[in-house]
Structure 1
Amino acid sequence: MSTRRHFIRNISLSTLGAYTLMDWKPASALSFFNSDAVLKVALLGLGGYASRVAEAIQQCQRVKITGLISGTPEKLKQWGEKYKVPEKNRYNYQNFDAIKNNPDIDAVYVITPNALHHDQVIRSAKAGKHVICEKPMAISAKEGREMIEACKKAGKQLLVGYRMHFEPLTLEVVRMRSAGELGAIRFFQGLCGFRIGDPTQWRLNKALAGGGSLMDIGIYALNGSRYMVGEEPVWVTAQETKTDPVKFKEGVDETITFQLGFPSGAEASCLSTYNMNNLDRFFLNGDKGFAELQPAAGYGPIRGKTNKGPLDIKNPLPQQTIQMDEMAAILLDNKKPIVPVDGEEALKDLVLIEAIYKAVKTGGQVKLNAER
């Protein structure tokens, strides 16, 4: 057994009308890796989500926090003491290029507002480090291409924090679709959103976020439509609704519904919003069966069912723990993930986001080129 796909397939109890995968463990816990090397990571940006990632890394088998990069001296001190990162491995945004001479750091995880990703990823690559970047990878496809090129030129890998690409129930649905258990896929629905709070936060600042709900939460439905259907869309239509133009200023979308068409004839209908709760649902329908995840993209636990019964995969680990151990395997062992998490994968989403915004403005169908 060399991949999680084989693991899930071999122990799936589909013949009983339900999926009961007890005590699921990530590949790292099952010794699927080729080595015991540890990925030494510097966290760049020490905000709320970085805190979640840092705590999750404490349960990783092959990842260790060895560097910190922040513009706040107090955070560097507090985090350094908490995670035992020595002062020599703590940097600010002005001097972090010096990581080039630091063998304690293998990779930089960029966890900052969207508009900062471009320069920070390129600087990290030029410093000779692999880069993990939070999604969306950038605020434009042009920036995304420049980031990919910079990492290639430096001979370093660029990965993007698509944590759902390693989530066990999500991978089981992908396996079912790939194995033909759902038949020909006809339809996908992705609903993602929440009521956003503080109107002064960076997510509602176009200069930092690059957009609104679509860039932040709607990208889960957009990306999910691609790996759930298993194809790349060939057209998109979209509509925007804005009920609060004061909170959601020009260029910051509140609610967007968008539709995608795929080469096989399958279609997707998705919703992205900053003004509704109780969403977070994926539904995939084929001519032989269906799969539903709800919640589908939250921090867990993810829950699901299919036409064969409930998906009951027991996973005691945080999603970010699984993600980071799997990314260690990609960077250190050249492991190939079932669903890609590289820069090229993220670029496809950026191209689609731009097409959705164009469709909103034009009110018509936007054709998508095969060439991204």
Structure 2
Amino acid sequence: MSSRRNFLQKITASAIALQIPDFVLGAPEDASPQEPYEGPVLRVAIMGLGSYGNRVAGAMQSSQKAKLVGAISGTPSKLRDWQSKYGIPEKNCYNYENFDALKDNPDIDAVYIITPNALHKDQAIRVANAGKHVICEKPMSINAKDGQAMIDACKKNNVKLLVGYRMHFEPKTLEIIRRRKEGELGKVLFFQGLCGFIIGDPTQWRLKKELAGGGAMMDIGIYAINGARYMIGEEPIWVTAQETKTNPEKFKPGVDETIQFQLGFPSGAVASCLSTYSLNNLDRFFLNGDKGFAEMLPSTGYGPIKARTNKGELDYPHVTHQTVQMDEMAGIILEGKKPIVPVDGEEGLKDLKIIDAIFLAVKTGKKVPLKL
């Protein structure tokens, strides 16, 4: 308990730590009431007003450092609804043809792209060319080549590129990472990541290769890829993978239904992961070392996350992930904050390189080397 208390005190006091905000941890008993936030605010437009766009918009109503001020959609009725619901002025609303005009709008700082994966690259480049910061939902794009083009465009225009890795700010996730770093689990030997659910509507964009870039791997498998990296604390050096397809009518060529994949790390640790659109009740991370273990179940859902180690349950209050994410990203963009686990374009690119290698391993049946 004392080590946990010391950890929380250190990160609360640290000038570089915004990763677990005070409103997540809870204020100390002897602390005075928290003063209203009066610092810089990131003014955000959301591109793509579907189900997740609505979730982010709702969560941002509780954000202190990020404010929803704009909307971009190809559906005029959605724009009208958002204007009414969130008080967005008409001058901050755009469609997919005219949003390059963002360059002339000083009231928007950043655009959060929440559209089908295959659209991310071109949209991010256009946003960057308009001089606005880019926040892009994961996966950052459909392959590493396109991801690199996004990074290059943002660097050229001197704007930030961040990826929607909300779990990188989740307190129980960060506590397990801390314990692993502190050596409480000993030498890390094994990680298991199980990610999947039974997907519904067969006509949705997530089951169309030209929009999704794949199937379950692009949507849910990326959690296991990214989780293996931040839980083990190393970058993988090889991957093997096997695909299973039981419903070729629903899962067309190029749209994966189920992929099992294995990652090898420099220390000798291995990861065994499953990504599927055909099985429910799969949202589990398990990290095993020679002195202890950590388990998260559920591990990446919208919450609350449940976690335990060999020393017992982890207990933190649940705060909406997207609220925390947007406040944290505002700190990164406006104040230069450094998160414990990166959320920048280079982080997104590493996952895309691994996804490219997984698809190659499935195709060839061979172990594919990785150089991240």
**TM-score normalised to structure 2 length:** 0.92
Is this contact kept in 2: 1:5–1:338, CA < 8 A?
no
Give the structure 2 partner of residue 357 of structure 1.
359
Taking the aligned partners of 1:98 and 1:22, their CA distance within structure 2 comes to: 37
User: Which runs of 5 or more structure 1 residues have no equivalent in the other structure?
Assistant: 12-20
Give the structure 2 partner of residue 7 of structure 1.
8
Give the structure 2 partner of residue 51 of structure 1.
54
Give the structure 2 partner of residue 342 of structure 1.
344
Q: CA deviation at 1:313?
A: 1.2
In the TM superposition, 1:131-146 aligns within 5 A as 131-146=134-149
Give the structure 2 partner of residue 176 of structure 1.
179
Taking the aligned partners of 1:238 and 1:84, their CA distance within structure 2 comes to: 48
Is this contact kept in 2: 1:229–1:284, CA < 8 A?
yes
In the TM superposition, 1:87-126 aligns within 5 A as 87-126=90-129
User: Are residues 1:277 and 2:287 paired?
Assistant: no
In the alignment, residue 238 of structure 2 is paired with which amino acid? W
User: Which runs of 5 or more structure 2 residues have no equivalent in the other structure?
Assistant: 13-21, 28-32
Percent of pairs identical after alignment?
67
Alignment coverage as a number of residue pairs: 353
Taking the aligned partners of 2:23 and 2:184, their CA distance within structure 1 comes to: 22
Q: CA deviation at 1:81?
A: 1.1
SS of residue matched to 2:314: strand
Match of 2:207 among 204, 209, 219: 204
In the alignment, residue 60 of structure 2 is paired with which amino acid? I
Match of 2:158 among 131, 135, 155: 155
Q: CA deviation at 1:364?
A: 1.4
Taking only aligned residues, the RMSD between alpha carbons, in angstroms, comes to 2.0
In the alignment, residue 243 of structure 1 is paired with which amino acid? T
Judging changes above 3 Å, is the alpha-carbon distance between structure 1 residues 319 and 22 closer, same or farther for their aligned structure 2 residues?
closer
Q: CA deviation at 1:312?
A: 1.2
In the TM superposition, 1:244-259 aligns within 5 A as 244-259=247-262
Give the structure 1 partner of residue 327 of structure 2.
325
Q: CA deviation at 1:23?
A: 6.2
Is this contact kept in 2: 1:50–1:111, CA < 8 A?
yes
Is this contact kept in 2: 1:42–1:66, CA < 8 A?
yes
Judging changes above 3 Å, is the alpha-carbon distance between structure 1 residues 25 and 93 closer, same or farther for their aligned structure 2 residues?
farther
Taking the aligned partners of 1:337 and 1:352, their CA distance within structure 2 comes to: 22
Taking the aligned partners of 2:171 and 2:314, their CA distance within structure 1 comes to: 10
Q: CA deviation at 1:9?
A: 6.5
- What does the per-residue CA deviation read over 1:61-94, in whole Å, with 9 as the maximum and x for residues that have no partner? 1111111100000010110111111111111111
- What does the per-residue CA deviation read over 1:324-352, in whole Å, with 9 as the maximum and x for residues that have no partner? 00000000000000000000000000000
Give the structure 1 partner of residue 17 of structure 2.
none
Taking the aligned partners of 2:9 and 2:272, their CA distance within structure 1 comes to: 29
Q: CA deviation at 1:7?
A: 2.2
Any runs of at least 4 consecutive aligned residues in structure 1 with deviations exceeding 3 A, and if so which? 8-11
Match of 1:84 among 84, 87, 98: 87
Give the structure 2 partner of residue 367 of structure 1.
369
Is this contact kept in 2: 1:194–1:275, CA < 8 A?
yes
Give the structure 2 partner of residue 128 of structure 1.
131
**TM-score normalised to structure 1 length:** 0.92
Judging changes above 3 Å, is the alpha-carbon distance between structure 1 residues 211 and 181 closer, same or farther for their aligned structure 2 residues?
same
